[in-house]
Amino acid sequence: MQQSALKDRIAALPRVRCAHLPTPLEPMSRLSEELGGPKLWVKRDDCTGLATGGNKARKLEFLIGDALEQGADCLITQGAVQSNHCRQTAAVAARYGLDCHLLLEQRVPTDDGDYANSGNVLLDHMMGATTELFAADTDMNAQMDKLADTLGDKGKKPYIIPGGGSNAIGATGYANAAVELLDQCEAMDLRPSHIVHATGSAGTQAGIVAGVHGAGSTVSVLGIGVRAPQQKQEQSVYELACDTCEHLGVGAALPREKVVADCSFVGDGYGPPTPAMLEALDLVAKLEGILLDPVYSGKAMAGLIGSIRAEKFESSRDVVFVHTGGSAALFGYRWALDNN
C-alpha cells in the first residue's frame, strides 16, 4: 500500500474531529547540544488540545466516531488513577454529550492526597465523569463488562473503550499520526533514522508501526516501555499492529523485527518515579521549556537520553521524539518532584 492509498483508507473510516492537527514538529536544539548526539526533534502531540492535550485525542477521534455510529450514549473506560487516557475520554464525552464512567486502578503504591485528588483526577471530575476506584491487579476488563451490563439493564447504550484506547480502531489514530509525521519530514527535508516514544498499552506504537509499514517508509520505530517486560511488550505491540494493518487493508505482512521496545527504563513498575525520569523532566523543562509527564513521556525521554549516551544512534542523523502529553499528571506527583 502506498502512502496516498493509506490516507484514503483512513479518511473513509468513522471519525470525529477533536484534536488540533497537524501537531507541530519542532527542533530541540539546546537538548541536542547538551547531549552531543543526533539532532533531536519533537512531535508535539502534547498540543492536541482536548483538556491539556496528549496522544489519546488521536485515538479518540476514531473511537468516538465508531461509538456514535453505533448509537452509544455513554462511554466506559479504565486506567490508572492519574490516567491521561481517562482525562481525555472525559473531555471528548463532554464535547459530544455522552455520559462518561471511569474505572481507576490504584497501580501506584502511594496514599498521597495530590495523587488521589489533583492532576488528572481533578480534571475528570470537572468534566462530569464518574469515577470508581479499584485495587491494583483488579481484572479491569471484567469490571468494565460488568458496568456495561448494569447500564444496559437501565436502558443505556454503553460503548467500552479499552485501556489507553488501544485496539485497532484507536491505533488507527497513530497510523494517521505516522503519515502526518512522514509528510512533515518530507516538507522539511528531514530523513530521521528513528521515531522514539513511550509505549504502554501498545496502541501508540502499534499505530505508528502500522502507519510506517503501510506507507512504505524505512524509518525505525523505538518504543520506550513504561510497564511490561520487553518480550511481553513487543508481542502486545506486534499483535495489535497486525490487527491495525488488517483494519486498514495493509496487505503486506508486517515483519516481527519492525517492533522494538526498550523496557530497561521502567524502574519499579508503571507509575513510580525513577532518577532517570526525574533528570529527563528537569533537562527538557530547563533547556526547551517543554513539560513532560512522570509516567510516559518522562520515562520515554529518559530512554532516549540513555540511548544517546550509549551511542545507539548515529550522531549525523535526525531523531524524532513523539511527546505523548500528560503534563496534567505532574500536579499529582508533587510528592516526587519536591524531593528532586
All structural domains of the chain? 3-54+167-337 (3.40.50.1100), 56-165 (3.40.50.1100)
Task: Report pLDDT for 1.
Answer: 65
CA–CA distance from 2 to each of 54, 190, 213, 216, 236 (Å)?
Answer: 28, 19, 10, 6, 26
Q: Are 170 and 60 in contact (CB under 8 A)?
A: yes
Task: Report pLDDT for 184.
Answer: 98
Distance CA 277, CA 272 (A): 10
Q: What's the pLDDT tens digit per position in 7-52?
A: 999 999 999 999 999 999 999 999 999 999 899 999 999 999 999 9
Task: Report pLDDT for 146.
Answer: 98
CA–CA distance from 8 to each of 83, 209, 253 (Å)?
Answer: 32, 18, 20
Task: Report pLDDT for 340.
Answer: 62
Task: Report pLDDT for 117.
Answer: 96
Cell matching residue 299: 520515562
Task: Report pLDDT for 138.
Answer: 98
83: annotated active-site residue: yes
Distance CA 250, CA 234 (A): 20
Q: Which one, of 89, 82, 88, lies nearest residue 133 by Cα?
A: 82
Q: What is the DSSP string of 218-280?
A: --EEEEEESSS-HHHHHHHHHHHHHHHHHHHT--SPPPGGG-EEE-TT-TTSSS---HHHHHH
**pLDDT (tens place) for every residue of the chain, 340 residues total:** 688 899 999 999 999 999 999 999 999 999 999 999 899 999 999 999 999 999 999 999 999 999 999 999 999 999 999 999 999 999 999 999 999 999 999 999 999 999 999 999 999 999 999 999 999 999 999 999 999 999 999 999 999 999 999 999 999 999 999 999 999 999 999 999 999 999 999 999 999 999 999 999 999 999 999 999 999 999 999 999 999 999 999 988 999 999 999 999 999 999 999 999 999 999 999 999 999 999 999 999 999 999 999 999 999 999 999 999 999 999 999 988 886 6
- Helix 203-215, helix 168-187: angle, nearest 10: 50
Task: Report pLDDT for 333.
Answer: 94
| From 4, 29, 32, 83, the catalytic residue | 83
Task: Report pLDDT for 338.
Answer: 80
Cell matching residue 159: 460503548
Global pTM value: 0.97
